[in-house]
């Protein structure tokens, strides 16, 4: 989980009015427990590892979590203060991390994307992946129509996350479509590989397998061409040079996805933008050419 994702999760917590209070005129009581319990429930739902231990301890306290009243009373002020401080630990811890992340992460609008590279310790592989990513993005968005740029705005831990500014919504939309097309290509690659593995298992002759490999590559190239032309048509890029650039961009993106790279829109992007990016955990991913045709036929 990236630091930006943690920050986005914490943004939704009601820090302002959820703390357990001790009234000045009644030092043996604690108040505001209803709002506190709501905060505790919301914090637990976030499933953040740094909060889970303290939440687990607080949940064993019947006064703080089991009662439905808004106040609890104790024999002396020290006991009330101890209970309040214990309960408020979850709020103070969450707020401290949130305040830190506001300074340590990039403020993103919808013109950003987030890239997650797979874990790896080989510097050469990391450099190659970054180079492929840069080429794929630049080939796609740096044109007169989308008027995009490719600027790295931040690096984050949690695997290796890169925050990239693309300047325009049109550029973000285009990268979403390129990533989607790359995911479609990879599904076709996977199907072809399954077929080849089966044929090898029944000891099919090598010359037939070689011929099948050539046919598969022809099919992949044809799909890449179709996807690139469909994307170009949607943004009125008609010249052959732009289409060829898109084809290379899709192939580079396809290779990155195969290696485990993930492409995500900005955390603050609207639902319409988020839908443009493929969810690789929800297979199969259908070509947008097919989806468009089905929509037109209805």
Residue ending a domain, choose from 104, 132, 165: 104
Same-domain pairing of 44 and 92? yes
Element (H, E) at 112: strand 112-117
Taking the C-alpha atoms of residue 249 and residue 135, their distance in angstroms, rounded to an integer, is 7
- Interval 182-203 mean pLDDT: 75
For residue range 20-29, what is the model confidence (pLDDT) as tens digits?
999 989 999 9
For residue range 143-173, what is the model confidence (pLDDT) as tens digits?
989 999 999 999 887 678 999 999 999 999 9
Same-domain pairing of 49 and 152? no
- The pLDDT, as a whole number, for residue 195 is 63
Same-domain pairing of 7 and 134? no
Number of folded domains in the chain? 2
Same-domain pairing of 267 and 122? yes
Same-domain pairing of 124 and 254? yes
Taking the C-alpha atoms of residue 262 and residue 47, their distance in angstroms, rounded to an integer, is 22
- The pLDDT, as a whole number, for residue 202 is 61
- The pLDDT, as a whole number, for residue 247 is 95
Taking the C-alpha atoms of residue 250 and residue 236, their distance in angstroms, rounded to an integer, is 18
- The pLDDT, as a whole number, for residue 288 is 79
Does residue 11 surpass a pLDDT of 80? yes
Taking the C-alpha atoms of residue 33 and residue 262, their distance in angstroms, rounded to an integer, is 42
Domain containing 168: what range?
112-297
- Interval 176-202 mean pLDDT: 80
Whether the Cβ atoms of residue 163 and residue 267 lie closer than 8 Å to each other:
no
Same-domain pairing of 61 and 193? no
Same-domain pairing of 140 and 272? yes
Does residue 52 surpass a pLDDT of 80? yes
- The pLDDT, as a whole number, for residue 234 is 87
Whether the Cβ atoms of residue 114 and residue 133 lie closer than 8 Å to each other:
no
- DSSP per-residue codes, 225-266: HHHHHHHHHHTT--SHHHHHHHHHHHHHHHHHHHTT-EEEE-
Same-domain pairing of 196 and 293? yes
pTM: predicted TM-score of the whole model, two decimal places: 0.78
Same-domain pairing of 185 and 85? no
**Plot region of 66 (φ>0 → left; ψ -120 to 50 → alpha; else → beta):** alpha
Q: What is the mean pLDDT of the chain?
A: 88
Same-domain pairing of 144 and 276? yes
């Amino acid at each position: 989980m990236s630091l930006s994702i943690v920050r986005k999760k914490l943004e939704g917590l009601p820090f302002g009015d959820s703390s357990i209070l001790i009234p000045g005129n009644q030092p043996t009581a604690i108040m505001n427990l209803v709002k506190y319990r709501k905060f505790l429930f919301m914090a637990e739902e976030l499933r953040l590892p740094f909060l889970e231990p303290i939440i687990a301890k607080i949940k064993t306290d019947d006064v703080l979590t089991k009662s439905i009243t808004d106040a609890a009373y104790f024999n002396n002020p020290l006991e009330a203060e101890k209970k309040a401080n214990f309960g408020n630990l979850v709020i103070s811890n969450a707020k401290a991390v949130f305040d830190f992340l506001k300074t340590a992460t990039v403020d993103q609008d919808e013109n950003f994307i987030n890239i997650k590279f797979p874990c790896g310790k080989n510097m050469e592989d990391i450099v190659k992946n970054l180079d492929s990513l840069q080429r794929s993005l630049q080939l796609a968005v740096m044109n007169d129509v989308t008027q995009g740029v490719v600027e790295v705005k931040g690096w984050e831990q949690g695997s290796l996350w890169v925050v990239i500014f693309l300047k325009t919504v049109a550029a973000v939309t285009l990268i979403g479509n390129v990533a989607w097309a790359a995911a479609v290509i990879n599904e076709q690659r996977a199907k072809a590989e399954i077929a080849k593995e089966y044929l090898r298992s029944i000891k099919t002759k090598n010359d037939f397998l070689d011929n099948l490999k050539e046919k598969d590559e022809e099919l992949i190239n044809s799909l890449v061409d179709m996807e690139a032309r469909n994307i170009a048509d949607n943004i009125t890029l008609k010249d052959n040079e732009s289409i060829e650039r898109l084809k290379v961009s899709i192939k580079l993106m396809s290779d990155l996805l195969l290696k485990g790279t993930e492409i995500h829109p900005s955390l603050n992007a609207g639902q319409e933008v988020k839908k443009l990016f493929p969810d690789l955990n929800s297979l199969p991913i259908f070509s947008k050419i097919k989806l468009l045709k089905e929509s037109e036929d209805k």
